[in-house]
Structure 1
Amino acid sequence: MVEAQQTMPGQSRAHRMRALPIALSACLVISLMAAGFALKREHDKLSAQERIAVAHRLALHAAELRDDDPVRARNLGLAAVNIHSDDRTRAGLIDTLVMWRRTDLYALEVGGVQGVALSGDGRIALTGDSDGVGVWDLKTWLDPNVALTDKSDRLAVLKGHQEDVGALALSFDGRTAMTGSDDGTTMLWDLADPARPARLATLRGAAKGEYANGVQAMALTRDSRRAVVADFDGNMIVWDLAKRSHPVRLSVTKAHDSYIRDVILSADGRTAVTSGEDKTVTVWDMTDPVRPVKLADLELPGNFAESTKMSADGRTIVVANPDRADVWRLDDRTRPIHTAMLELPPVDMYDVALTPDGKTVLMAGGSGTGFLWDLSQPSLPARLAAMKGYTTEVNSVALSADGRVALMASPDRGVSLWSLDGLADIVADPGGAICDLSPGSEISRADWVRFAGDADWSDYGPDNVDSLLLCFIRP
């Protein structure tokens, strides 16, 4: 039985001969499948690379057209995002959509605007120019249903200084204003009725030193009961404004060896920060305003601080200089901690605005563009938008408390007003923000050929149409 069950040598050889073609066929199939997968991967890779290149090309053209043809810029930007969404295409479309929210409050041929200030609710604004300090009610300007020709003009002009006004401050409630002049005087104003401002008092500066003691910067506490004025001689002057018609000077402190570029106060007035031309930024304990106490100096890398701003609780500081912008924390006021550096283009930043909660910062300078950042996580700042304003430069910016209203002033032009309501939705999904409102947005075949180069139209939509619906581009 055992011998009968054994396979004869000839039979084994025949079996192997029959199995060999099957094995070869299987190997061939596997090889072909592997080659097919490799070809598909290579095709998909090339296709993905082409989509990225097309998207970036469209985003670049959108940026170039943003000033002169905003509708086409928006459509090209939307096409770029829907073809390939990445940081570059999304940022480009966000910037285009934000620019649509700009209104030129007014323009000047000569002189320009030297400074702006904004109330906490974003309604009352101050603008300083060669004609004086204008008082504005922005209610009609922020209402999209009011025609441009029906927007209200400035309500009043604050005058009285003998020389140019170099510094402005406006209380959180918009009812108190301060104006500081190159002649060293500071004027206190009642804006309870902004159309009929009343001058309350004139605050005299410190005794003149080696240089003129022109007012460089000023700040108010949240309740407007205390003010700090900084001058060209490096003095920090503290005023008690409890009786606004009779301010009392509490102290004069030599804060810096050179002139002070900026001074800021916490909402409760217990912390002040000054920045000087001597490349120092100093933190002060103002608990006793008669005897301010120096707590610490920020170790600044690089150049002097062009502008410094602080959150209402005195815990977050943003410092901008000609080289960079940095975020600091003051949880321990004697030991400031550097938490982040903002990645900005290599242009001077002349001014900074920070919301009271310390979560949104706007800065602008020599490029004429404002840069808006989210500081909700101070160690991980996130870019929100670039606000393209005047093509020259911006020397003063302001933000409302909720970050929904912004002002940018140009020294040789005027003031631009930005309505940033709904910005969070735009940043989260810029393509969806357009498609929700304008699902029929499209690009013509002619524009596709002009801006997308030799990219095949049929890869992104039907070939037998004359326009491509941007909200339905093929993935």
Structure 2
Amino acid sequence: MNDLPGARQADPRGNVRWRTSAIVLAACLAVCLVVAGLAWKREHDRVSAQERVALAHGLALHAAELRDADHSTARNLGLAAVKIHSDGQTRAGLIDTLAREHSSEFTLEASSEVALSGDGRIALTGHGDEVSVWDLTTWLDPKIVEKPSDRVAALKGHKENVGAVALSFDGRTVLTGDDDGTTIVWDLTDPAKPIRMAAVVNKRDAEYANSVEAVALSRDGRTAMIAGSDGDVTAWDLTDRSRPARLSMTAHASSIRDLGLSADGAIAVTVENKGTVTLWDLTAPSPPVKPADLALPAKSVAAAMSTDGRVVLVGNARQVGVWNLDDRSRPVNAAVFDVPLADMYDMALTFEGKTALLAGPSDSAILWDLSAPSRPARIAALKGYSQEINSVALSADGGIALTAGPGGVSLWNLKDLSEVVANLEYAACLGHTGAEISKADWARYAGSADWSDYGEEDWDTLAVCLIRPDST
């Protein structure tokens, strides 16, 4: 007998519905678990990334603090920071550390003015009532370990402090201007035997000497500009350097703070104490034509002109403006960017205006890339041996730089710096593949960060160049 009378038959459709519900429930549970797992992973990755960034920035900060006292450790920490997390902050710190390796303590004698010839071979440093002449050929030769400590000559003859110096592109003509209002023209054809060619004296009033505030020379040294504290700027023909001939004069409302002249002597830029920045066309008959004013939102204090006369920088305490002079009658403001200097003491530009060096009340001059004028980019901070940098100079190609202040003058050989910046990690490891961080230093500078996240747990030291890169 099969079924009892009245017994219910099992509903096959109910079993199917139950199984379907169970499958759907299991699928939903699986999806929820996957979603929760992904969310957990995202959060874990986010926290790990934050910890990695914080560690990298902390190591970069320690590297900056150690840059003077322990350069080797600073280099290792800076490279570790870039390997752990490469961003603008860590890369800038490592570039600054590596750039320091390209500097030399040139002279400990205080200097208020420096100048370089176009090829970077001849240097001038001014202190007190004289200017020292240096031949950098030996200094720039890496094969010569013992560098000369003596200057090759001194330009003497001023009665007061020299506050303005200019050197022609070929290094053969020099202008030195002093607080007594006298500008001396020198022949430096033989750097070891300078010849005083002539002297130009600014007009004076009954009480005060009209001190020389700024001087400039054209590329060939045949045109000179001299700015006095009374606001007068005069152009001079130095074709016969023994007999300077005045070409023209411009009058300003206040004393001149800075002055620039193009290679062809056709255009000049002046900065007054009141902050006015003016371009002057010197090709017109006397007096020169004033084609344009260049302005920044706040008072301008310094300016620089590229040798080719196509780029002008104008700076104040916080910002720098980049002006394009392809059409000299209509300057175009290509960019305005912030600078961390608190004030602007001096500026220098390469021949084509693609690199700028800015100085102020800091122990570092800031090197900027202006090859894309609308997007200025910080290259490196050149930390000198002085607590503040009053004067800077660049060779025509930007390969040589001088930074000067009360603590002395630093010489920078920057010819390979662009390659360092472009291949930062490679440059940092080149010749330093054995760079290591000990466990003691890791604990000191990395805190509680897990060593095994970046190297092998059983290693006694962390090989910096082999640190596992950030995979996020």
Q: 1:206 to 1:237 in 2, by over 3 A?
A: farther
In 2: Cα distance, 1:403 partner to 1:9 partner: 93
**Residue pair 1:238, 1:289 contacting (<8 A) in 2 also:** no
In 2: Cα distance, 1:114 partner to 1:60 partner: 31
- After TM superposition, the runs of 4+ consecutive aligned structure 1 residues lying more than 3 A away are 206-211
2:187 aligned with 1:186: no
Match among 245, 255, 265 for residue 261 of structure 2: 265
Three-state SS of the structure 2 residue aligned to 1:94 is helix
Q: Which residue of 1 aligns with 2:70?
A: 69
2:371 aligned with 1:413: no
Three-state SS of the structure 2 residue aligned to 1:366 is coil
Three-state SS of the structure 1 residue aligned to 2:37 is helix
Match among 335, 338, 343 for residue 333 of structure 2: 338
Q: Which residue of 1 aligns with 2:462?
A: 468
In 2: Cα distance, 1:174 partner to 1:289 partner: 29
Show the 5 A alignment for 1:12-91: 12-91=13-92
Deviates more, 1:315-324 or 1:93-102: 315-324
**Residue pair 1:155, 1:195 contacting (<8 A) in 2 also:** yes
**Residue pair 2:296, 2:321 contacting (<8 A) in 1 also:** no
Deviates more, 1:240-249 or 1:202-211: 202-211
* Alignment-mate amino acid for residue 37 of structure 1: L
In 2: Cα distance, 1:193 partner to 1:334 partner: 40
Q: 1:9 to 1:221 in 2, by over 3 A?
A: farther
Compute the displacement of 1:152 (Å). Answer: 5.1
In 2: Cα distance, 1:156 partner to 1:267 partner: 27
In 2: Cα distance, 1:120 partner to 1:391 partner: 25
Match among 445, 455, 459 for residue 451 of structure 1: 445
Match among 129, 132, 147 for residue 130 of structure 2: 132
**Residue pair 2:385, 2:409 contacting (<8 A) in 1 also:** no
Q: Which residue of 1 aligns with 2:4?
A: none
Three-state SS of the structure 1 residue aligned to 2:226 is strand
Match among 335, 354, 363 for residue 358 of structure 2: 363
* Alignment-mate amino acid for residue 281 of structure 1: V
2:276 aligned with 1:280: yes
Runs (5+) with no aligned partner, structure 1: 1-7
Compute the RMSD of aligned alpha carbons. 1.7
Identity of aligned residues (%): 57
Deviation per CA, 1:80-136: give whole Å up to 9, x if none: 00000000000000011111211111113xxx2110000001110000112611000
Three-state SS of the structure 2 residue aligned to 1:113 is coil
Give me the TM-score of the superposition, normalised by structure 2.
0.94
In 2: Cα distance, 1:12 partner to 1:61 partner: 73
In 1: Cα distance, 2:118 partner to 2:149 partner: 20
Match among 222, 227, 230 for residue 230 of structure 1: 227
Q: Which residue of 1 aligns with 2:295?
A: 299
In 1: Cα distance, 2:455 partner to 2:431 partner: 21
Three-state SS of the structure 1 residue aligned to 2:112 is strand
Deviates more, 1:29-38 or 1:190-199: 29-38
Compute the displacement of 1:165 (Å). Answer: 0.9
Q: Which residue of 1 aligns with 2:236?
A: 239
In 2: Cα distance, 1:178 partner to 1:223 partner: 13
Three-state SS of the structure 2 residue aligned to 1:39 is helix
* Alignment-mate amino acid for residue 399 of structure 1: L
**Residue pair 1:321, 1:350 contacting (<8 A) in 2 also:** no
Aligned length, in residue pairs: 461
Compute the displacement of 1:445 (Å). Answer: 0.7
In 2: Cα distance, 1:209 partner to 1:307 partner: 30
In 2: Cα distance, 1:150 partner to 1:409 partner: 19
* Alignment-mate amino acid for residue 415 of structure 1: V
In 1: Cα distance, 2:302 partner to 2:312 partner: 11
Q: Which residue of 2 aligns with 1:3?
A: none
Compute the displacement of 1:47 (Å). Answer: 1.0
In 2: Cα distance, 1:244 partner to 1:276 partner: 28
Q: 1:150 to 1:373 in 2, by over 3 A?
A: closer
Compute the displacement of 1:207 (Å). Answer: 4.7
